[in-house]
Structures are given as structure tokens and as C-alpha cells.
């Protein structure tokens, strides 16, 4: 079997929230598979530094800082890509924040912020990318980043859970509307991964013990362990896969 099936040569991938964490690991992996990478973050300096770091590794990486939850910023970002002649063939909707507080104590503004960044941004950016993929007539790939919380809940993370549950069904909506245009829209559901966002949890002996006990693999996941699923869903290897979510969770969702 040819590895061409998993090659991203000649393709351009926009990865949101990729100045660090899971997004940066996924962007690096897509770059190593041959894609030209457009990194995104809200902090222009940090995003530019990440692009320089990937370029120093021999990857084709540039930075595009914009607020993924701001309608006008998203439109302006795609207008800039249009003006530069850059065509997004692969979109990874990874941007997301976490906000841990019981619902009874949650400020509605914090609820809305999590929903806007973790879910609405995927709709806003997904449709700008799809609009152009459809107009070009050669399809494309959309990979939304879900979570264990696309399936199950735990106390104190309601907005994140609602958003990630929405990501699962938004992915299916994208498949429903855009598959006929040659666009494959799928998702990845990371398990408990060793990232900055989870540092507080990793440093909590009780939660660390919970994760290691509840996960059959008995450890936290590494961000680079998402790369295989990301390259698969971004490559021709997944041309007949649509509306699916692949859990990279060490088996946590598979067992009681």
C-alpha cells in the first residue's frame, strides 16, 4: 500500500488555536506529512514565534493571528488569505478554552465566551473554508476537535461539555450539507491529554489518580498522539469517511 494515501503534499492546512498545545502538535504533524501550515492564535507574537519554530524544523509554516469567535475577524482573515492567493484545503477547528465552575455559580458571560470560542468559531470558520472549497470545486477536509465531553459530562465543565457535544453534531451537519461537494467533515475526540489547559488537573494527585485509574492505558495522552488521526482525516485515506468522530483517549470511553 502506498503511503501517498496519507500524503498532504501540495495542500494548505489552517489549524486554529495552534500557537501551543494540541493545535501546535497537530499542525506540526500535518506539516511533516507535507502540508503548508497556517498557524492561528489570538496572540500575534506567540503565533508568529510558533511559526518561526516550525519553520526552523524545516516545515512550511506561517502565522495568521485572529479572534476565532469574532465574526468580522474571521471574515477579515479569509479576505487576507484570498488576497494572498492562499487556499485552505484542510481546516482543523481546534481553538478552545476551558472554564471550570459549577453552573449555579457560572456568569452567563463566561458560558457565552466558552460556547463562542469552542463551538461557534467552528461554524464561522468552517463555513468560510467550505464556501471557498465548494467554489474551487475540488473538495476539502474539515477536522473538528471534540473531547471526551462530546460524549460524557463531569461536574464544573458544563459550557465546555455543551460546546464539545455541539462539535460532534456540528460535524455531522457539515457532512450533511457539504459531503456532496467533496468535503469530508470529521472530528477527533482527545482524551485526557498532557497540555497547559490540563496542568491544574495533572498536578492534582486525586484527579491524576482518577485519570490513570479510569483510562485502560493508565496514563495521560501526549499531544503528538493525535497526529495519526489528524493526518488520516486530513488525507485522501479518509475520502469516504464523513460525519465521524475518532476518540484518541487511551480507551477511556470504551470501558466502565
Select 29 or 190, whichever has its Cβ closest to ligand GCO. 190
Minimum Å distance from CB 27 to ligand GCO? 18
Which residues are bridge partners to 116 per DSSP? none
Among 12, 42, 47, 198, binds ligand GCO (CB under 6 A): 198
Select 73 or 194, whichever has its Cβ closest to ligand GCO. 194
Give me the 102-141 binding string for ligand GCO, x by CB under 6 A, dash otherwise: ----------------------------------------
Residue whose entry in the numeric block shows the C-alpha cell 453534531: 169
Chain positions 152 to 181 lying near ligand GCO, rule: CB under 6 A, are 154, 157, 160
Select 44 or 222, whichever has its Cβ closest to ligand GCO. 222
98 binds ligand GCO (CB under 6 A): yes
Let me know if 240 is a catalytic residue.
Answer: no
Minimum Å distance from CB 132 to ligand GCO? 30
Binding part of the chain for ligand GCO, among 23-31, 52-60, 184-192, 226-234 by CB under 6 A, reads 184-192
219 binds ligand GCO (CB under 6 A): no
Select 178 or 192, whichever has its Cβ closest to ligand GCO. 192
Among 66, 78, 178, 192, binds ligand GCO (CB under 6 A): 192
Pick from 61, 37, 26, 55: which is nearest to 232 by CA?
A: 26
Minimum Å distance from CB 114 to ligand GCO? 11
> What is the full DSSP assignment across the chain?
--GGGG--TT-EEEETT-SSHHHHHHHHHHHHTT-EEEE--S-HHHHHHHHHHHHHTT--EEE----TT-HHHHHHHHHHHHHTT---SEEEE---------GGG--HHHHHHHHIIIIIHHHHHHHHHHHHHHHHTS-EEEEEE--GGGT---TT-HHHHHHHHHHHHHHHHHHHHHGGGTEEEEEEEE-SB-SGGGHHHHT-HHHHHHHHHHSTT-SPBPGGGGHHHHHHHHSGGGTT--S-EEEESTTGGG--
Q: Which residues here bind ligand GCO, judged by CB under 6 A? A: 98, 100, 147-149, 154, 157, 160, 190-192, 197-198, 201
Which of the residues are catalytic? 160
Amino acid at each position: 500500500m502506498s503511503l501517498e494515501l496519507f500524503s498532504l503534499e501540495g495542500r494548505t492546512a489552517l489549524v486554529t488555536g495552534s500557537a501551543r498545545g494540541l493545535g501546535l502538535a497537530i499542525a506540526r504533524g500535518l506539516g511533516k506529512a507535507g502540508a503548508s501550515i497556517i498557524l492561528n492564535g489570538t496572540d500575534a507574537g506567540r503565533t508568529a514565534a510558533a511559526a518561526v519554530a516550525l519553520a526552523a524544523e524545516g516545515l512550511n509554516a506561517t502565522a495568521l493571528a485572529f479572534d476565532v469567535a469574532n465574526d468580522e475577524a474571521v471574515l477579515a482573515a479569509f479576505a487576507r488569505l484570498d488576497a494572498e492567493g492562499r487556499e485552505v484545503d484542510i481546516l482543523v477547528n481546534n481553538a478552545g478554552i476551558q472554564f471550570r465552575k459549577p453552573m449555579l455559580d457560572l456568569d452567563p458571560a463566561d458560558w457565552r465566551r466558552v460556547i463562542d470560542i469552542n463551538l461557534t468559531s467552528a461554524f464561522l470558520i468552517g463555513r468560510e473554508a467550505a464556501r471557498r472549497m465548494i467554489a474551487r470545486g475540488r473538495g476539502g477536509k474539515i477536522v473538528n476537535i471534540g473531547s471526551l465531553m462530546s460524549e460524557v459530562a463531569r461536574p464544573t465543565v458544563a459550557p465546555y461539555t455543551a460546546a464539545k457535544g455541539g462539535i460532534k453534531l456540528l460535524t455531522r451537519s457539515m457532512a450533511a450539507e457539504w459531503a456532496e461537494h467533496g468535503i469530508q467533515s470529521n472530528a477527533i475526540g482527545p482524551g485526557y491529554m498532557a497540555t497547559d489547559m490540563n496542568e491544574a488537573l495533572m498536578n492534582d494527585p486525586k484527579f491524576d489518580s482518577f485519570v490513570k485509574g479510569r483510562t485502560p492505558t493508565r496514563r495521560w495522552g501526549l499531544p503528538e498522539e493525535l497526529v495519526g488521526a489528524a493526518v488520516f482525516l486530513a488525507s485522501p485515506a479518509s475520502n469516504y469517511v464523513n460525519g465521524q468522530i475518532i476518540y484518541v483517549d487511551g480507551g477511556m470511553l470504551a470501558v466502565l
